[in-house]
């Protein structure tokens, strides 16, 4: 048994160093770039710094990067967009996949969970994608990374990004018949690192309990069976329109280690939402995915449920959404699994493949084989 424990420890170190998320990168990114207010009036300098960091990381990751500037109610805002072209770029066979997160905050919060966590997970997934590219990976489909401004006040940044940048960009690069494209869709990350394994730390709004039980019976039953622990990431999607993207993300999550971090699915018939159910479902429409839905682009909303879990019930859009409360070891590991799943999903949907065997991958394979042989010898002792 001691040998088995030693082997698991060694393999865990290997996984972290070679295959898994860089938890130190996650910590430093949150601490240095997403730990203070990012609001155009309350703290424009820090917001500008965060935006520049995103731009630099996009470029470092090998993306064709641009600022998308727009004006809303007389104020200037900026989205950051990066493109990794696949081999099918410019053709109708290009099944584009994307990931997006907003980087702005309301004026009184530090915004570590909302939404420093989403941007950091996106950047860590890009770090992994870029490492794979340097190791010889190539992709058939294009990947788009998007950091949205001005989400907190009406989802404006993503709306303008679609209208002013994405749709013209698609027409420019794919021709007038862009409706012939069949994109895989975009993963929207918003408030994703608050993990809480305490009983009854997860709530369902009282006015929504009956409707949630009707529409998501298996999900509600699963949460209840864990005594309403906030130990999961939620995937929100339209059943008939985003199901493939959602199922791919969920499958990749289940294929990652650390099963204590769970996932729950909230797939619903979007077309059935009417005036009677709108208020109940309103919390499922609280992020940038809605603008993609309205443009008939597949999108899934990934979240820790924000103000329906643990201390974020008090800290959502408040000053206590800060490093002291959010940057815990469990939360960082939880965010690491999210980033790993994003990277795995992007690799799968971009149809990544190894063009050649690089020195780095050869070393990695050697280390894996070496450690695995050590593990087998330990188990035989």
pLDDT in tens, 184-225: 999 999 999 999 999 999 999 888 899 899 999 999 999 999
Count Cβ atoms below 10 Å from residue 369 Cβ, excluding itself: 10
* Per-residue pLDDT tens over the stretch 126-176: 999 999 999 999 999 999 999 999 999 999 999 999 999 999 999 999 998
Domain range spanning residue 140? 19-353
What is the number of domains present in the chain? Answer: 1
Asked if residue 374 belongs to a domain, the reply is no
Q: Which two tokens stand for residue 250?
A: 């969920």
Asked if residue 381 belongs to a domain, the reply is no
Asked if residue 178 belongs to a domain, the reply is yes
- pLDDT of amino acid 357: 53
What's phi and psi for 272, nearest 5 deg? -85, -5
Burial class (CB in 10 A: 0-12, 13-18, 19+), 173: middle
- pLDDT of amino acid 378: 47
Asked if residue 29 belongs to a domain, the reply is yes
- pLDDT of amino acid 376: 41
d(CA 188, CA 120): 13
- pLDDT of amino acid 19: 62
Q: What is 119-147 written as a DSSP string?
A: HHHHHHHHHHHHHHHHTTEEESS-EEEEE
d(CA 81, CA 167): 13
Asked if residue 149 belongs to a domain, the reply is yes
Asked if residue 269 belongs to a domain, the reply is yes
Helix 329-349 and helix 118-134, axial crossing angle in degrees, nearest 10: 50
Asked if residue 11 belongs to a domain, the reply is no
Asked if residue 197 belongs to a domain, the reply is yes
> Which domain CATH number covers 242?
3.40.630.10
State which residues of the chain have pLDDT below 70.
1-19, 357-381
- pLDDT of amino acid 179: 87
- pLDDT of amino acid 7: 46
Average pLDDT, the chain: 90
- pLDDT of amino acid 48: 98
């Amino acid at each position: 048994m001691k040998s088995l424990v030693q082997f698991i420890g060694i393999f865990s170190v290997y996984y972290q160093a070679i295959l898994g998320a860089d938890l130190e990168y996650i910590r430093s990114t949150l601490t240095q770039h997403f730990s203070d207010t990012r609001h155009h009036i309350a703290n424009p300098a820090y917001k500008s710094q965060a935006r520049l960091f995103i731009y630099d990381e996009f470029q470092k990751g090998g993306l064709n990067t641009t600022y998308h500037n727009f004006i809303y109610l007389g104020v200037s805002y900026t989205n950051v967009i990066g493109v990794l072209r696949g081999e099918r770029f410019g053709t109708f066979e290009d099944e584009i996949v994307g990931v997006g997160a907003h980087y702005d905050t309301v004026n009184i919060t530090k915004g570590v969970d909302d939404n420093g966590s989403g941007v950091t997970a996106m950047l860590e997934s890009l770090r992994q994608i870029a490492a794979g590219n340097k190791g010889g990976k190539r992709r058939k489909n294009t990947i788009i990374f998007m950091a949205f401004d001005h989400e907190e006040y009406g989802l404006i940044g993503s709306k303008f990004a679609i209208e002013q940048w994405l749709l013209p960009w698609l027409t420019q690069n794919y021709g007038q018949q862009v409706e012939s494209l069949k994109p895989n869709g975009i993963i929207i990350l918003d408030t994703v690192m608050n993990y809480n394994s305490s009983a009854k730390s997860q709530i369902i709004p009282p006015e929504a309990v009956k409707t949630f039980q009707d529409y998501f019976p298996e999900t509600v039953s699963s949460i209840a069976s864990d005594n309403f622990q906030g130990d999961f990431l939620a995937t929100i999607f339209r059943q008939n329109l985003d199901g493939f993207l959602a199922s791919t993300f969920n499958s990749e999550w289940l294929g990652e280690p650390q099963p204590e971090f769970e996932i729950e699915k909230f797939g619903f018939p979007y077309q059935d939402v009417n005036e009677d159910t709108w208020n109940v479902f309103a919390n499922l429409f609280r992020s940038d995915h809605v603008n993609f839905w309205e443009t008939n682009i597949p999108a899934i909303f990934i979240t820790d449920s924000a103000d329906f879990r643990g201390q974020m019930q008090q800290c959502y859009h408040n000053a206590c959404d800060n490093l002291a409360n959010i940057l815990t070891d469990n939360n960082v590991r939880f965010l690491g699994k999210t980033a790993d799943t994003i990277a795995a999903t992007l690799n799968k949907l971009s149809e990544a493949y190894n063009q050649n065997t690089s020195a780095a991958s050869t070393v990695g394979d050697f280390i894996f084989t070496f450690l695995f042989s050590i593990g087998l010898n330990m188990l035989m002792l």
